[in-house]
Amino acid sequence: MKVLVLHGPNLNLLGRREPEIYGTKTLDQLNEEIEALASQLGLEVEFFQSNHEGVLIDRIQQAAGTYSWIVFNPGAFSHYSYALRDAIAGAGVPTIEVHLSNIQAREEFRRHSVIAPVCAGQISGFGAASYFLALYAIFERAGGVQAQNELTGF
Ligand code: DQA
């Protein structure tokens, strides 16, 4: 099962961008950890980061037919991009919105996501683990440990 992990604007700066909020891990380190967990769960992940709304929209539109799920951190676009929301709603690929920080506990403008209503769910506030929890959710939706055991003959 293929999962597209999409990182939105400014996430390329992870590690040096407001480390007190987003931690000290770089995007490459985060992706390595996601990849390691995904392979344990039997999921195939691909990564893409862009600072550009239109590029992210293109990538979401192209995801249909190739990926079973999208794990998406839309960054600040979460709070106002109706275009990204429409792309997710139209692509027909179930999407989980993730945030490193707890957007509910931050500035007022971050407390609302226009993306969340078209997503399967939102995970926010657990740093890298927000992405890990999204992978677990996909694993569970795919049948979880039981399905894994059937595959491996347990
Ligand atoms: C973020 C939260 C957003 O409000 C912010 O604009 C980001 C990162 C997060 O992962 O916590 O760029 O999506």
Is 99 among the domain residues? Answer: yes
Is 85 among the domain residues? Answer: yes
Is 153 among the domain residues? Answer: no
**CA 103 / ligand 1 centre spacing (Å):** 7
User: What's the mean pLDDT when you consider all of the chain?
Assistant: 95
From 149, 100, 150, 142, select the one nearest 125 (Cα to Cα). 100
Return the ligand 1 atom nearest residue 21 CA.
11
In this predicted model, what pLDDT tens digit does every residue of 39-50 receive, in sequence order? Answer: 999 999 999 999
Is 37 among the domain residues? Answer: yes
Is 90 among the domain residues? Answer: yes
The residue-averaged pLDDT of 140-149 equals 80
**CA 88 / ligand 1 centre spacing (Å):** 18
The pLDDT value given to residue 143? 86
From 5, 56, 69, 70, select the one nearest 35 (Cα to Cα). 5
Is 92 among the domain residues? Answer: yes
Q: Whose CA is nearest to atom 1 of ligand 1?
A: 75
The residues carrying an active-site annotation are 22, 99
Is 152 among the domain residues? Answer: no
Distance in angstroms (rounded) separating the CA atoms of residues 114 and 54 = 17
- With the most atoms of ligand 1 within 8 angstroms of its CB, the residue from 30, 84, 100 to mutate is 100
Q: How many domains does the chain have?
A: 1
Residues having CB closer than 6 A to ligand 1 are: 10, 73, 75-76, 78, 99-101, 103, 110
Q: What is the CATH number of the domain that holds 11?
A: 3.40.50.9100
In this predicted model, what pLDDT tens digit does every residue of 59-95 receive, in sequence order? Answer: 999 999 999 999 999 999 999 999 999 999 999 999 9
The pLDDT value given to residue 68? 98
Instruction: Taking the CA atoms of 64, 94, 100 and 114 in sequence, report the sign of the dihedral they define.
Output: positive
Distance in angstroms (rounded) separating the CA atoms of residues 55 and 31 = 20
**CA 149 / ligand 1 centre spacing (Å):** 36
| The three-state (H, E, C) secondary structure of the chain, written as one string | CEEEEEECCCHHHCCCCCHHHHCCCCHHHHHHHHHHHHHHHCCEEEEEECCCHHHHHHHHHHHCCCCCEEEEECHHHHHCCHHHHHHHHHHCCCEEEEECCCHHHCCHHHCCCCCHHHCCEEEECCCHHHHHHHHHHHHHHCCHHHHHHHHHCC
Domain residues for the domain of 31 are 2-147
Distance in angstroms (rounded) separating the CA atoms of residues 83 and 90 = 10
Is 71 among the domain residues? Answer: yes
